[in-house]
Amino acid sequence: MEGTDRKAEGPPADDPRRIRRYWRLGLGLSIAALAASAAYVAAMAAGGCRALAARVEPWAGAGLAGRGVVLAIFFAGFAIVGGPFEFAAGWWRERRYGVGREGPLAWLWRRAKAGAIALALAVCFFEGIYGLAEWIGGWWWLGAAAVAVAIEIALGYVFPTGILPLFYRMTRLEDPALEAEFARLAGRAGFDVEGVYRMELSGQTSKATAFLAGLGRTRRVIVSDTLLEDFTPGEIKGVFAHEIGHHAGRHVAIHLALGAAATTAALGAAALAVAALSGPLGFRGPADVANAPVIVGAAGAMMLAASPLLALASRATERAADRYALEATGDSSSFVTLMEKLARRNLSLKNPGRLAKALLFDHPPVAERIEMARRLEDRARQEDPGP
Ligand SMILES: [Zn+2]
């Protein structure tokens, strides 16, 4: 796409003003997408979904099939309402700032696949909600919360083997020297990992990432090829030790429990909203598909309200994983260069304001992560001044 490249702002560089513009653009597009989705939900709640159900029910009935059709159309509407903003943020902004590498059709195809999976899950989950509402009435939200947690755990198991490969080519890392080093670090923590995998991300972006995925037997460390291509072995070891830190601190279980609490609160709020609005909006009880937008709106608002708390907990566990990595490797200089390189590649805001950090950051900002590495290094030097 020559035309796009000419308009691009040049290759990624460490200019804080440019990075702030990149963030501001992303935030503006996210707020616009959220506002458009909220307006769509409100319009569907105020009668749109009822009108849709009235058109579908004569030929598909008011049971499982009819509800499924209404739900599929309602959820597909989000792609139309929020899609343009998502494309602008996910494709155009990335190309403009020199990190995106793929064509628009490749981006759309990948997004469509993810959207189809999400749509199928949402329809099934809401069919489950209405089944529960017919069965246990007003207590449906408790049953639905249990189902949501079960789905999250099941997705945790299948994510690295069943879902990620649909989007990225994954290959097992074959690097004997690095693997031996990984095994040494893992052994210390009793960390039993199925393997370390290389995720092919370089065709889509120049950004780099690494994470721990899967549960039980499917658990693996996944490192993007963009990270492997120009990071030193010491830096990659730091990444791996950080992921072990998550395991050693039982962070997956902590975040599953917090997510479950937030989901239960969100579904409880949805049940209250449905009960309160049933009269004014004319729902035929909790099992009426016309109330789907109210459930989405109330649960979504609750999740949005909970997100700063979840981000706070996430920053705390990320900090703990960093501390673990620094102590396990004893190599703070590689940790610092790793952070610098990741920040440059990912256009990270190194030192955001307090409000931006509280609302948007699920990792501590890079400046804080580097500061902690330097602090721990100083302390280690004081405790052991050496020869
Ligand atoms: Zn982490």
Other beta carbons less than 10 A from residue 296's beta carbon? 22
pLDDT at 19 over 70: yes
pLDDT at 385 over 70: no
pLDDT at res. 75: 98
> Has residue 66 been placed in a domain?
yes
User: Same domain, yes or no, for 267 and 236?
Assistant: no
> Has residue 114 been placed in a domain?
yes
How confident is the model over 221-237, as a mean pLDDT? 91
- Residue 173 · residue 198 · CB < 8 Å: yes
User: Same domain, yes or no, for 95 and 224?
Assistant: no
- In which band, very low, low, confident or very high, does the pLDDT at 4 lie, cut at 50, 70 and 90? very low
- C-alpha span between 86 and 115 (Å, rounded): 12
- C-alpha span between 323 and 343 (Å, rounded): 19
119 HSE (CA, 13 A, CB side): 18
- C-alpha span between 236 and 228 (Å, rounded): 7
- Partnered with residue 224 across adjacent β-strands are 199
Percentage of residues of the chain with pLDDT beyond 70:
96
- Which one of 208, 230, 246 terminates a domain? 246
Helix extents (H) in 191-331: 225-230, 233-248, 251-281, 292-329
> Has residue 351 been placed in a domain?
yes
**Paired tokens of 183:** 């095994």
pLDDT at res. 387: 55
User: Same domain, yes or no, for 320 and 239?
Assistant: no
pLDDT at res. 9: 44
**Residue 242: CATH number of its domain:** 3.30.2010.10
pLDDT in tens, 298-344: 999 999 999 999 999 999 999 999 999 999 999 999 999 999 999 99
Percentage of residues of the chain with pLDDT beyond 90:
75
How confident is the model over 193-222, as a mean pLDDT? 89
User: Same domain, yes or no, for 242 and 252?
Assistant: no
For residue 64, the CA-to-ligand 1 centroid distance in Å is 41
- Which one of 246, 281, 297 terminates a domain? 246
User: Same domain, yes or no, for 203 and 101?
Assistant: no
> Has residue 6 been placed in a domain?
no
Ion ligand 1 neighbours, Cβ < 5 Å: 318, 321
For residue 124, the CA-to-ligand 1 centroid distance in Å is 31
pLDDT in tens, 280-296: 998 988 899 999 999 99
> Has residue 3 been placed in a domain?
no
For residue 108, the CA-to-ligand 1 centroid distance in Å is 28
User: Same domain, yes or no, for 66 and 215?
Assistant: no
pLDDT at res. 195: 80
Q: Work out how many domains the chain is built from and give that number.
A: 2
How confident is the model over 363-369, as a mean pLDDT? 95
Q: Beta strands 196-199 and 220-224: pairing type? A: parallel
Q: Is 329 helix (H, G, I), strand (E, B) or coil?
A: helix
User: Same domain, yes or no, for 123 and 137?
Assistant: yes
- Which one of 246, 264, 294 terminates a domain? 246
> Has residue 4 been placed in a domain?
no
Q: What sign results for the dihedral spanned by CA atoms 140, 144, 145, 147?
A: positive
Other beta carbons less than 10 A from residue 187's beta carbon? 11
pLDDT at 16 over 90: no
For residue 294, the CA-to-ligand 1 centroid distance in Å is 35
pLDDT in tens, 61-90: 888 999 999 999 999 999 999 999 999 999
For residue 254, the CA-to-ligand 1 centroid distance in Å is 13
> Has residue 37 been placed in a domain?
yes
Query: In 82-236, at which residue ranges do the beta strands (DSSP E only) sit?
Result: 170-172, 196-199, 210-213, 220-224
pLDDT in tens, 24-44: 999 999 999 999 999 999 999
User: Same domain, yes or no, for 54 and 139?
Assistant: yes
User: Same domain, yes or no, for 129 and 210?
Assistant: no
Q: What sign results for the dihedral spanned by CA atoms 94, 100, 104, 109?
A: negative
- In which band, very low, low, confident or very high, does the pLDDT at 183 lie, cut at 50, 70 and 90? confident
pLDDT at res. 187: 83
Quote the pTM value.
0.91
User: Same domain, yes or no, for 83 and 193?
Assistant: no
> Has residue 1 been placed in a domain?
no
For residue 257, the CA-to-ligand 1 centroid distance in Å is 17
User: Same domain, yes or no, for 366 and 376?
Assistant: yes
Q: Give me the sheet containing 210-213, strands edge to edge.
A: 170-172, 196-199, 220-224, 210-213
Domain residues for the domain of 189 are 170-246
How confident is the model over 158-180, as a mean pLDDT? 90
pLDDT at 242 over 60: yes
How confident is the model over 86-107, as a mean pLDDT? 95
User: Same domain, yes or no, for 225 and 331?
Assistant: no
